[in-house]
A and B are shown apart, each in its own frame.
Chain A
Amino acid sequence: MPLPTKKRTREQFGRVAAKYRCSADHTDLEDLDLLFSGLSPEAGHRVLDVATGGGHTALALAGRGVRVVASDLTPRMLREARTLAAETGAENIEFAVADAEALPFSDAAFDRVTCRIAPHHFPDIRAAVKEITRVTRPGGRIGIIDSVVPGDPALDAFMNGIEKVRDPSHVRSYRNEEWLEFITDAGLVPLQIASLWKTHAFPEWVARTGQPKAVQREIEQMFLSAFPLARQTFRILTEEGRVVSYSDEKIILVAKAPDASPAR
């Protein structure tokens, strides 16, 4: 188990927790509407939001009358999420510090499980998907949103390379095909796969992970010197030698847990 990555994740998000609570990219919830249309959370459902971060998904769920458990590896992120919950007056939400690869919940405990813009931080994605599957009841649904990269290896390397410089706890943004494989290998049945391109205002995006100015400048340089296909694919917009914005793709995936548990 590559523990150093998890330690880095906790250090990283402990430092910048408040920025994620207020982040424009995390509070713009267009992707959640798409997710919820396939996930169909119903009042009274018990729902787990894995790696809740600033708690935006958990709160959106709480607003739908479900009983939410929000988990995260970083205690400070959960305290930020709790602050946000208190501000909105949500009461049907509980918190637990947990590792996505070793979830502290009994089998089949949840009707729905969500995980939004977080799997790219998990050192062992397959272990996490397996755990998420374990805690979902038979016939229950799993909803995942994460950044993905195009199939072209050069575009894949370009975007993952940039993300790693920007955020030391970034492990990998996967291709859509990889996601489909993780899901089906865990015994889940895909119900809905949607995709959404999201535009990021560069100055806020680059500052969010709390990197020094020199690193931020290095990232900007990587965008400025992008090869033509990368510039076009990621819609890199520049003005007078500065990066204004770029876009990346999110996968919005809903899968179903098998109706009966397979024999163990």
Chain B
Amino acid sequence: MDKDLLEILACPKCKGELRLSADETELRCAACRLIYRIEDGIPILLVDEAEPYE
């Protein structure tokens, strides 16, 4: 995942920071407790498709 892009990405729900997982397969918003998956190198940044986590 491109670092330049990561720098400006934000959670589509709260506009807060997203954190890239170590294996670069997902982005997490700690405030909303949501996981956005990265598919084929393209992040899917849709609130409706995000997975909640505990």
Contact = CB atoms under 8 A, between A and B. Distances in A.
Interface of A: 3, 46, 67, 69, 73, 75, 78-79, 82, 94-99, 102-107, 109-110
A94 B5 CA distance: 7
Contact of A106 (B2, B8, B45): B8
A128 to B, nearest CB: 13
Contact of B15 (A75, A82, A106): A106
A107 B14 CA distance: 11
A98 B46 contact: yes
Contacts of B9: 96, 104-106
A109 B44 CA distance: 19
Interface in B17-54: 18, 36, 39-48
Nearest to B42: A95
Contacts of B43: 96-97, 104
Interface of B: 2, 4-5, 8-13, 15, 18, 36, 39-48
Contacts of B18: 104
A46 B28 CA distance: 24
Contacts, number: 58
Nearest to A106: B10
B4 A67 contact: yes
Given A75-B39, A102-B13, A109 B8 contact: yes
A77 to B, nearest CB: 11
Contacts of B12: 98-99, 102-104
A102 B32 CA distance: 15
B contact face: mostly helix, strand, loop, or mixed? mixed
A96 B46 contact: no
Nearest to B47: A102
Given A78-B42, A105-B10, A106-B10, A94 B4 contact: yes
B45 A98 contact: yes
B31 to A, nearest CB: 14
Nearest to A69: B5
A106 to B, nearest CB: 4
Given A69-B8, A79-B40, 14 more contacts: A78-B42, A94-B4, A94-B5, A96-B45, A97-B42, A97-B44, A97-B46, A98-B46, A102-B47, A104-B18, A104-B36, A106-B9, A109-B8, A109-B10
17 contacts: A69-B8, A75-B39, A79-B42, A82-B42, A95-B41, A95-B42, A96-B45, A97-B42, A98-B12, A99-B12, A99-B46, A99-B47, A102-B13, A104-B11, A104-B43, A105-B8, A110-B8
A3 B10 CA distance: 22
Contact of B5 (A96, A99, A107): A96
